[in-house]
Structure 1
Amino acid sequence: MKTAVIYNSDLHFEHKQWESELAFWKDELKSFNNRLGELVTRWTDKDVLAQLEHYQNEFILHGNVIEDLQEAMEKHEMNISEHSNKLGDTMDVPMFSTHKEIREKMETQRQIYADLKKDFFRFLSKYM
């Protein structure tokens, strides 16, 4: 039976991809918040303003998740680096488990964020 080898460099590459994605999300959130600011000045209807507040809260929550993911990746990246210095370029099982957890969180958040964007764009098309 052949055992798969997981290399630290592969995990590092995936981290870089995630970091780029998170940076893009952060930038998008700034743009979305700017849109909210524009809409606040256009609308006085309480229902619309409540929806604006809802999206503002969602964007804040998503920004917090981004920060949490960035922190987890940074910590994991440091562990990978220390591991590489001690044992070479292959990954041990517990460290890969941590990587898989972060991957699952990224995949979940990717879906949550995509749904949020769809809803927000529908909202914008209705009230812009």
Structure 2
Amino acid sequence: MEKEVIYNSDLYFEHKQWRRELFFWEDELKSFKNRLNEIANRWTDKNVLAELEHFQNQFINQAEVIDKMQHDINVHENKIVENTKEGEDILDLNLSRKHIEFRNSMETQRHIYGDLKKEFFRFLSKYL
């Protein structure tokens, strides 16, 4: 059976996709925070404000996760660049494992972020 070969260029392509996705999430969070400000200006009810604070905290957490993921992509990519400079276009086993772990983390984060968005949109529909 032939082994599958993973090339640095393939991983770089995936990194670019992840960066775009993370950038989009960052931009989206800014928009969500603006919506929270609109609600804060309209409502004084303690229950509404408590929910609002919950989303503020969730958005802060998401921003931190996004920053960490961007950092991790950069670290991983630097290692790929080192391999390429050494004339190695094929990723070594440890970097391949890291990449797969990160791919799984991105998939998990997509679900977490998607669920948060659904919850936030339900909140918006009640209070805007």
Instruction: Name the TM-score class by shorter chain.
Output: over 0.9
Aligned residue for 1:5, secondary structure, equals: coil
Q: How many residues get paired?
A: 128
Which residue identity is paired with 1:72? D
Which residue identity is paired with 1:26? E
- Rounded Cα–Cα distance in structure 2 between residues aligned with 1:126 and 1:41: 15
Deviation at 1:28, TM superposition (A): 0.2
**What is aligned with 1:86?**
86
Which residue identity is paired with 2:28? E
Deviation at 1:85, TM superposition (A): 1.2
The CA RMSD measured in Å over matched residues stands at: 0.6
TM-score, normalising length: structure 2? 0.98
Gaps of 5+ in 1: none
- Rounded Cα–Cα distance in structure 2 between residues aligned with 1:67 and 1:75: 12
**What is aligned with 1:42?**
42
| Percent of paired sites with the same residue | 58
Post-superposition Cα deviations, 1:61-113, rounded to whole Å, max 9, x if no partner, equal 00000000000000000000001111421111100011111111111100000
Gaps of 5+ in 2: none
**What is aligned with 1:108?**
108
**What is aligned with 1:53?**
53
Runs of 4+ residues over 3 Å off in structure 1? none
TM-score, normalising length: structure 1? 0.98
